[in-house]
Structure 1
């Protein structure tokens, strides 16, 4: 195997399941790799807001002059996006030796790693060898049993918690909160940016002896239309510009970021100017991403009811559009009815799409789910074989003053980013 595609195909064949929670396999291979970090590690768990939190941490740390390493998942277009070193996506030739290291360590005992476990270990191995000043690790699923949790954190952040992946994590916020809180460590800062965290998170942090930072108690924020301010344990920042990431919910994420940086200030000091510059320059594809032009095009990887509710609020704040065209594709195990109900009042025409993965709900299944809604609006809907075909149909039907929304799975948004925006019709070009 001499290229990344071959290695990824190999990773897919090792374990019969796509998801198999548990740390035994990962710990065994990590021990053989001697996997450890010499720099501070920030681990980020939660249902929504993890990617934005990691991106803001990275942007501020880069502005402060620190060499950063970031691990996030899944990717939108290319696998290499999952690892960023010093702000740049990892290069294939840099990743390959670490896939080889993991394979050698795994093969000694024939450990059947999942795709996620194998690739996580390879990326962590690269990051550990990259002379980082700070490692920022996004938890893939849950927390306690996720492969990322094989690394002890120096500061944990738990973002908003809602019901998602119920078959693995539980069907209520308290149960899910216990799983997320599994990333906490005794004596280490535990920043919770969810304004109403489950009691299970607080109880676990206190029982463990973590240094718990709660929004509203240990840190808070305020703001008007022009600027916002943050206050923590004896430290304040006033007159801050809003984060470049769009959406009202981003202040919650940014507040957690500033709390984590405050908690780590002895090991990872950052200036107020680095915070201002980092928040102004942060960029993250697929999170309420607005593509300029006519009609307006909004891309968002909202794929659970909590995220879709935030997306709906952000769309409301955009102002008036004569019509909104909604391109939607999602996994079959999601709460599809709740997502469609939250977005229903805003969408004037639906374009349901198939996705290139067995986990996805088919376009026909999405259409049937929408048609079964008891109080849905009487608007038109169509089915399509791919997100790009659905977007092409939306572009053809939309007026220049309309808005097109592409949302749901990473596969939905990633496909559009991969293939590009379809050429606008003559009516859009005037």
Structure 2
């Protein structure tokens, strides 16, 4: 990555707006300015507390293999900024990233009321996909749904994973508030598929009827095997490269969405694509001796899903969890779940201004080991008889990947 591109990314990331409540209008104005018309493009919107990235990956893999030109927008990234914008399952090139960063930053310079980082990033992705003349766009929600700036266009299909309490300070204060925000991506006459808990079913269906929309709840498919993960859905058998019990829901949601919006895509294509799909940081094995897994879990619901998968996949292994946590996260619930399967929990730091108060966490959980120096914590990965789990923040995973030497 060139110095100039790095500086452009930094400039984008520093952009803030003095009037956050006006975010939707600013993005709609930008869409009008760039004359972005998506009426002839299939559009899929993906929301939910956990699993959005995996669902987007499955969809992208299937549609690309089926011969469609696919634009995918996801966030955040693990190693490089380019991961946020994909064309046919490949990262946007540095050359294109530079070009579109310059376009969107120049546009922002003309405004009296400046746009924020994520607003600009969203419009940049829209503009890039339009210029590339894609057939399909797959857009992951940033936070929530209803008031997220990705919700400024109309979609052909809405997919919602689960409903949890992450970002409750912005979306809450209650679970119903969060639910309303997530299902807000469903618009009048729209269609949604979801794997959320059935306790929400009556509420969501009532909401859909009020706007003349339809909602389909997707059940967990029948599992045949743990590793590789195999399952049956509507009489068809599938195998996943990704592991983890939660991938059953994610894959089933993607399959249902594809079958609805692209009924012409054959089972063989879907099956092959799912078997090829890999999404970094989702119970991902990055080292064999000792075994090191990365998982992007960072909230209570993800920690529960992670714990369930660990107990199934590694029932007799000694797990050492190395974690770092950002401010505002429910670390009590997160660490409580990790304690149920971890032989040791080591908490460490990494350079991020949003890093949580590690001393406070150590006080609340005296048995965890606080090793603030990241390199010192890495030295604890030294026993081939143990399995190491790196988790707690996707940003921490990215830092680990960029600094861990095999």
TM-score scaled by length of structure 1:
0.87
User: Take 2:267 and 2:158, find their aligned partners in 1: how far apart are those partners?
Assistant: 22
Contact 1:291 1:297 in 2 (8 A): yes
Return 5+ residue gaps in structure 2 as ranges: none
Match of 1:224 in 2: 224
Instruction: Work out which of the residue numbers 375, 392, 406 in structure 2 matches 1:408.
Output: 392
Match of 1:128 in 2: 130
**Cα deviations by residue, 1:265-302 (Å, 9 ceiling, x for unpaired):** 25xx3111111101100000001112241222111010
Match of 1:32 in 2: 33
**Once the 2 structures are TM-superposed, how far is the Cα of residue 410 of structure 1 from its aligned partner?**
1.1
Please say which of residues 273-282 and 110-119 is displaced more in the overlay.
Answer: 110-119
Where do 1:59-70 residues align within 5 Å?
Answer: 59-70=61-72
- Where 1:149 maps in the other structure, the secondary structure is helix
**Once the 2 structures are TM-superposed, how far is the Cα of residue 149 of structure 1 from its aligned partner?**
0.9
Instruction: Work out which of the residue numbers 301, 321, 326 in structure 2 matches 1:331.
Output: 326
Where do 1:138-287 residues align within 5 Å?
Answer: 138-196=140-198, 198=200, 199-216=202-219, 221-225=221-225, 227-231=230-234, 237-238=235-236, 240-265=237-262, 269-287=264-282
**Aligned residue pair count:** 400
Please say which of residues 171-180 and 305-314 is displaced more in the overlay.
Answer: 171-180
User: Take 1:111 and 1:215, find their aligned partners in 2: how far apart are those partners?
Assistant: 42
Contact 1:363 1:385 in 2 (8 A): no
Contact 1:76 1:410 in 2 (8 A): yes
Change (3 A) 1:270 1:339: same
Contact 1:312 1:342 in 2 (8 A): yes
Contact 1:287 1:301 in 2 (8 A): yes
Match of 1:381 in 2: 369
Contact 1:8 1:115 in 2 (8 A): no
Match of 1:427 in 2: none
CA-atom RMSD in angstroms = 2.3
Please say which of residues 91-100 and 197-206 is displaced more in the overlay.
Answer: 197-206
**Cα deviations by residue, 1:153-173 (Å, 9 ceiling, x for unpaired):** 110001111111011001333
Match of 1:76 in 2: 78
TM-score scaled by length of structure 2:
0.92
Please say which of residues 114-123 and 196-205 is displaced more in the overlay.
Answer: 196-205
**Once the 2 structures are TM-superposed, how far is the Cα of residue 151 of structure 1 from its aligned partner?**
2.1
- Where 1:223 maps in the other structure, the secondary structure is strand
Match of 2:401 in 1: 417
**Once the 2 structures are TM-superposed, how far is the Cα of residue 24 of structure 1 from its aligned partner?**
2.0
Please say which of residues 334-343 and 362-371 is displaced more in the overlay.
Answer: 362-371
Contact 2:230 2:240 in 1 (8 A): no
Show structure 1 runs of 4+ deviating over 4 A.
Answer: 16-21
Please say which of residues 196-205 and 303-312 is displaced more in the overlay.
Answer: 196-205
Return 5+ residue gaps in structure 1 as ranges: 232-236, 372-378, 424-430
**Once the 2 structures are TM-superposed, how far is the Cα of residue 74 of structure 1 from its aligned partner?**
0.4
**Once the 2 structures are TM-superposed, how far is the Cα of residue 10 of structure 1 from its aligned partner?**
2.0
Match of 1:340 in 2: 335
**Cα deviations by residue, 1:332-373 (Å, 9 ceiling, x for unpaired):** 1011101111111222222211232222214323322322xx
Instruction: Work out which of the residue numbers 381, 395, 408 in structure 1 matches 2:381.
Output: 395
Please say which of residues 343-352 and 7-16 is displaced more in the overlay.
Answer: 7-16
- Where 1:394 maps in the other structure, the secondary structure is coil
User: Take 1:146 and 1:410, find their aligned partners in 2: how far apart are those partners?
Assistant: 20
Match of 2:104 in 1: 102
- Where 2:7 maps in the other structure, the secondary structure is helix
Please say which of residues 110-119 and 46-55 is displaced more in the overlay.
Answer: 110-119
User: Take 1:330 and 1:20, find their aligned partners in 2: how far apart are those partners?
Assistant: 28
Change (3 A) 1:16 1:393: farther
**Cα deviations by residue, 1:173-194 (Å, 9 ceiling, x for unpaired):** 3211110112112222211122
User: Take 1:128 and 1:352, find their aligned partners in 2: how far apart are those partners?
Assistant: 44
Change (3 A) 1:311 1:223: closer
Instruction: Work out which of the residue numbers 364, 368, 392 in structure 2 matches 1:369.
Output: 364
